[in-house]
Every structure is written in C-alpha cells, then in structure tokens.
Structure 1
Amino acid sequence: MAARRDGRPARISIDIMNCGTPVSTAAAPPPATVSGDAALLSYGVHSKRQRVRVMARMPNQEEAEVFGLPHPILVVESTYVDQAGAPVDFGASRYASGRVQLDIELDENLVPTFLGT
C-alpha cells in the first residue's frame, strides 16, 4: 500500500498476518484500508503491539524511484501478538523522511530498550 502527502508518495507499507491464527469466519472481511490490528479484531482476534522498531537507512533503487528522493528514509516495523503471546501480525512501513512526522507515546509501565550502532 502506498500513501501520499501533498500529492507525493510518503509511505510504502506491507502487512503480513499469521494465517494459522484461528478466526471467526462469521464476520465479513474488513476493507483493505483498515489497519492490521483492526482487521484482526474484525475476526475476533484481540492483539496488542509487542514491538516497534524504527530505523533510518538509505533507500534502495525501488524506494528512491517511488519517493523521488536520494536521501535516508524511515523504516518502521511493528509486531502484534494475540492474548497467548503468539505473533499474529507483522507490518513494515517505509517513509519519505521529509514528508512525515512520527509521534510516539510510550506506556509509562514500559521501559524502552535503545540499541544503537
């Protein structure tokens, strides 16, 4: 999926759900525009975000062409788990760094881990 800002590409994303997760088939399929956790909830799967990784890196050739940028992009990867702790959704988004702003609100009960190079 690609999102635009001011008519220019701002995000490329992919969402991969665990097909082994039992779901309620009584629900109608969610629209393609809903988030991964909302889609899972529509099938009766309660999930929570377990991990978010934010990185900056140079774009590969395809990303540079889509964004029209030769400078670093932001990559955000998210993992969701069900109530038993099993992974049910993985999402990866790549952002044109000059066209987005990330606002991250932390849970006061969580201690973030910072890994740097």
Structure 2
Amino acid sequence: MAEERVLRDLVDPAVTDTDELLRRLAAENPQSNAFPGDQVRQGKAMLMSWRSQLQGAICGKDRIASHPAVAGTDNVNDMVALAALVAAEVPTVIGSGINKMLIAALVVRIGIRKFCDGYDPIDP
C-alpha cells in the first residue's frame, strides 16, 4: 500500500513534475555529487544511457503494450498500474541503487509508445 502511494505521487503530474523526477534520478546517482550541475540534464542523460536496456526489458512485453494506459490517459490509477508493470521489468543492473519506481514513473510520463519508438527486438 505504501509502495502504491509513492508510485501514485511519482506518476501524478499534479503532485510531481517531470523535471523533479529527473532531479531525483540524478540525486540518487552517487556520482552526481562528484559532478555538480544541472540535475535535470544529468537525470535525462542517465535515463538515455539506459534506454536500450530499458527498451529491451519493457517494449516487447505484451502485458505492458496491451495495458489501457498505453494509449494515453488522465486516470492516475491507470498510470499507477502501468508504472507498477514497468517497474517490475526494470533490469536489476539498472535498478541497483536507483529507485525502480522512479525510472518507471519517468517512462510512463514520457509515454510507452514514445519511449519504445524505434525499438527493434532483433537489433539489440
């Protein structure tokens, strides 16, 4: 229940904006203190560095692709459910030390279709 509440706060744009999510992502990186600067940009760079791994874990999953929220929704409950599915697929190598729910919330905010655009399961 507490996990659902945290995820709800992360995916709900009325509670947390995308830039704040990117700042949090950068702040969770132990190296961010060594390289101070624009944490929004650092968070984007981190997410993009994991893009191909995340696409491989998320984009080919039928239960994610067929989720009603993939088509777009303002319903926070649908977004939370989709983010929970995505968080479960975040590879441990990426999620190690980084909050998987935060990564999932960012992917859901970007949009599954947009995030998976260009994904080719044959070309890793």
Query: TM-score category by the smaller chain?
Result: 0.3 to 0.5
Larger Rg: 1
TM-score by length of 2: 0.33
TM-score by length of 1: 0.34
More helix by share: 2
Greater relative contact order (CA < 8 Å, ≥ 6 in sequence):
2
